[in-house]
């Protein structure tokens, strides 16, 4: 019997839609969306969880300045609203950004989206940002344009965004309450002066909400990012989700605060902690009642290139690009062919899932079987196709009698560096085992003897038998196998979480 894959984008939840599912659900179903919206999200790796296995994005770091201060940001580094803190991007001029984008487009035909996400706030650098967008919309029309902002300058930028066909805008909204905002934003720069405290937060919140309303009124898809800060806004974010959904946001991405003292941020230096994986998931699940959630965000850097979770930026430095010989006409043709092929395959897969969802069947076994978590090593294509030792992250899925759903990516350290030494492999393996401690199975294409034994000793079953299978199908198969073996009886009092 085939295990159906749960899609979080149900018809009922679709109103907002964040590709969270879009941006974040396993087995998302886009069929209920109007054709125009479906076309906007189906090949956007952040707005469609399915698409992120296949389509790549790139960022160009053209925006150095910022008009606010966040307590989780150190200006030496990239904008932490949409990026991992603690990394620095190479600043580009618009000319260099266009050159780089075209080079990447030629080399990575599945690159479908160009985003500007820093290193400061793109809309606080309007000339540089819009010059880049203007040229790219003319010179590379098959690339979707995307921008991420703190929202302060958004209302005055909406017309310009619409003029350049920017269909995807992310606003970081951490709160609706200025008293909470004052604990996140010490100041903003507004109308040629610095404004502090609650007044600053009030202005920022008003601008964000106004910008959100203006964008959705124009049919531009809005994703809302929120940084979860335990003890500051964690209890408040469910309300944020509800309100932004009501105003037409398509997707909500709750990201964990990353605050390390070595990043030199206010939160890092004052000991503010980030959420645990369990706390983050609990909040995402709570918000999901109100709207679709993005769960596959990688908090990528402001010059990221490649599939989410991989960073090929080093292949495209200005020096390397200058040495490349690129036939753009040929590249455009190849891009069209590759992308059409991926889209057709994805649509076929989605249609299959929609059919399965329309006639749901249960897996073998009674409903009281417990759910399990499965970690998957994948290098893309939605397949179990990565060697355990080569994984820098694992995708964690929950399998239950009701289906399979994606929960989150988990970053780990590389266990095997590819040489004989395996470098820091020993402690990297310990950290990986610790990061996956809530999982019962690890699916990968291959695994060495040593990690196999260590995983087993930690109560995590390594499994290479589903190599090259589709991830959800493989998880479902493992669940059925365990159910058939009688390994999934729920302890007394525990119900199946996902059923």
Partner whose footprint covers residue 110, from ligand CLF, ligand SF4, none (CB < 5 to 8 Å by kind): none
Partner whose footprint covers residue 158, from ligand SF4, ligand CLF, none (CB < 5 to 8 Å by kind): none
Contact status: 27 vs ligand SF4 (CB under 6 A): no
Comparing CB distances to ligand SF4, the nearer of 121 and 472 is 121
CA angle in degrees (0–180, nearest 5) for 169-174-176: 105
Alpha helix segments (H runs only) across 218-368: 237-246, 266-270, 277-288, 318-322, 328-358
Comparing CB distances to ligand CLF, the nearer of 342 and 482 is 342
Contact status: 445 vs ligand CLF (CB under 6 A): no
Scored b (16 or more CB within 10 A) or e, 282-300 reads: ebbeebbebbbbbbbbbbb
Q: Which stretch binds ligand SF4 (CB under 6 A): 66-74, 256-264, 272-280, 303-311?
A: 66-74
* Sign of the CA dihedral with 46 first, then 47, 51, and 57 last: negative
Of the candidate residues 117, 143, 280, 443, the single one contacting ligand CLF (CB under 6 A) = 117
CA–CA gap between residue 82 and residue 298 (Å, rounded): 9
Contact status: 201 vs ligand CLF (CB under 6 A): no
Contact status: 381 vs ligand SF4 (CB under 6 A): no
- Angle, in degrees to the nearest 10, between helices 94-107 and 328-358: 70
Q: What is the DSSP string of 400-423?
A: ETTEEEEEEEEE---S--SSSS-T
Comparing CB distances to ligand SF4, the nearer of 69 and 137 is 69
Stretch 120-159: interaction string toward ligand SF4, x if CB under 6 A: xx----------------------------x---------
Of the candidate residues 115, 118, 211, 380, the single one contacting ligand CLF (CB under 6 A) = 115
With contact defined as beta carbons under 8 Å apart, do 23 and 349 qualify? no
CA–CA gap between residue 277 and residue 300 (Å, rounded): 18
Stretch 71-90: interaction string toward ligand SF4, x if CB under 6 A: --x-----xxx---------
State the number of CA atoms in the 13 A half-sphere of 265 facing the CB: 29
Partner whose footprint covers residue 46, from ligand CLF, ligand SF4, none (CB < 5 to 8 Å by kind): ligand CLF
Partner whose footprint covers residue 432, from ligand SF4, ligand CLF, none (CB < 5 to 8 Å by kind): none
Of the candidate residues 30, 37, 113, 283, the single one contacting ligand CLF (CB under 6 A) = 113
Q: Is 417 exposed, middle or buried (0-12, 13-18, 19+ CB in 10 A)?
A: middle
What phi and psi values does residue 55 have, to the nearest 5 degrees? -95, 145
- Angle, in degrees to the nearest 10, between helices 277-288 and 237-246: 30
Binders of ligand CLF among residues 14 to 33 (CB under 6 A) are none
Q: Of 49, 71, 400, which Cα lies nearest the Cα of 229?
A: 71
Comparing CB distances to ligand SF4, the nearer of 51 and 79 is 79
Assign 431 to helix, strand or coil.
Answer: helix
Which residue(s) pair with 24 in the sheet?
Answer: 20, 21
Contact status: 66 vs ligand SF4 (CB under 6 A): yes
Contact status: 298 vs ligand CLF (CB under 6 A): yes
Comparing CB distances to ligand CLF, the nearer of 102 and 298 is 298
Stretch 153-172: interaction string toward ligand CLF, x if CB under 6 A: ---------------x-x--
Tokens of 269: 């230096």
Closest separation in Å from C-beta 300 to ligand CLF: 4
Comparing CB distances to ligand CLF, the nearer of 148 and 233 is 148
CA angle in degrees (0–180, nearest 5) for 304-214-175: 65
With contact defined as beta carbons under 8 Å apart, do 55 and 104 qualify? no
Partner whose footprint covers residue 433, from ligand SF4, ligand CLF, none (CB < 5 to 8 Å by kind): none
Q: Which stretch binds ligand SF4 (CB under 6 A): 69-77, 200-208, 284-292, 459-467?
A: 69-77
Partner whose footprint covers residue 121, from ligand SF4, ligand CLF, none (CB < 5 to 8 Å by kind): ligand SF4
Q: Which residues bind ligand CLF (CB under 6 A)?
A: 46, 57, 59, 82, 113, 115, 117, 146, 148, 168, 170, 223, 253, 297-300, 308
Q: Which residues bind ligand SF4 (CB under 6 A)?
A: 66, 68-70, 73, 79-81, 120-121, 150
């Amino acid at each position: 019997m085939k295990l159906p894959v749960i899609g979080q984008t149900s018809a009922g939840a679709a109103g907002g839609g964040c590709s969270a599912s879009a941006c974040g659900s396993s087995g998302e179903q886009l069929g209920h969306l109007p054709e125009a919206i479906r076309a906007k999200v189906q090949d956007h790796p952040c707005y469609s969880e399915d698409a992120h296995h296949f389509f790549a994005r790139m960022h160009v770091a053209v925006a150095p300045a910022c008009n606010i201060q966040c307590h989780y940001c150190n200006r030496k580094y990239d904008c932490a609203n949409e990026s991992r803190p603690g990394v620095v991007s190479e600043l580009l001029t618009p000319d260099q950004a266009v050159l780089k984008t075209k080079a990447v487009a030629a080399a990575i035909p599945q690159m479908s989206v160009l985003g500007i996400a820093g290193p400061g706030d793109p809309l606080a650098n309007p000339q540089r940002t819009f010059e880049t967008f203007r040229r790219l919309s003319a010179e590379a029309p098959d690339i979707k344009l995307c921008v991420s902002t703190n929202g302060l300058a958004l209302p005055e930028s909406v017309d310009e965004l619409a003029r350049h066909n920017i269909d995807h805008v992310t606003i970081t909204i951490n709160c609706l309450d200025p008293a909470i905002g004052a604990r996140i934003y010490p100041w903003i720069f507004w109308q040629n002066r610095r404004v502090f405290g609650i007044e600053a937060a009030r202005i920022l919140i008003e601008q964000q909400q106004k910008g959100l309303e203006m964008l959705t009124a124009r049919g531009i898809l809005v994703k809302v990012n929120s940084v979860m800060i335990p003890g500051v806004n964690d209890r408040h974010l469910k309300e944020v989700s509800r309100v932004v959904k009501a105003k037409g946001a398509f997707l909500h991405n709750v990201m964990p605060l990353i605050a390390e003292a070595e990043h030199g941020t206010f939160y890092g230096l004052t000991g503010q902690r980030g959420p645990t994986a369990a706390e983050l998931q609990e909040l995402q699940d709570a918000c999901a009642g109100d709207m679709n959630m993005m769960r596959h965000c990688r908090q990528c850097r402001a010059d990221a290139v490649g599939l989410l979770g991989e960073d090929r930026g080093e292949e495209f430095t200005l020096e390397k690009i200058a040495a490349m010989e690129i036939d753009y006409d040929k590249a455009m043709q190849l891009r069209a062919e590759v992308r059409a092929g991926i889209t057709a395959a994805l649509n076929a897969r989605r249609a299959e899932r929609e059919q399965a969802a329309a006639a749901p069947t249960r897996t073998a076994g009674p409903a009281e079987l417990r759910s399990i978590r499965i970690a998957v090593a994948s290098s893309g294509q939605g397949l179990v196709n990565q060697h355990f030792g080569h994984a820098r992250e694992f995708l964690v899925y929950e399998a239950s009698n009701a289906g399979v759903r994606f929960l989150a990516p988990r970053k780990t350290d590389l266990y095997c560096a590819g040489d004989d030494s395996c470098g820091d492999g020993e402690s990297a393996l310990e950290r990986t085992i610790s990061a996956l401690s809530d999982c019962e199975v690890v699916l990968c294409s291959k695994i060495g003897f040593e990690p196999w034994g260590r995983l087993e000793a930690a109560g995590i079953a390594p499994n290479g038998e589903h190599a090259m299978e589709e991830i959800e199908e493989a998880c479902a198969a493992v669940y059925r196998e365990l159910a058939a073996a009688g390994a999934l009886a729920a302890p007394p009092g525990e119900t199946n979480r996902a059923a």
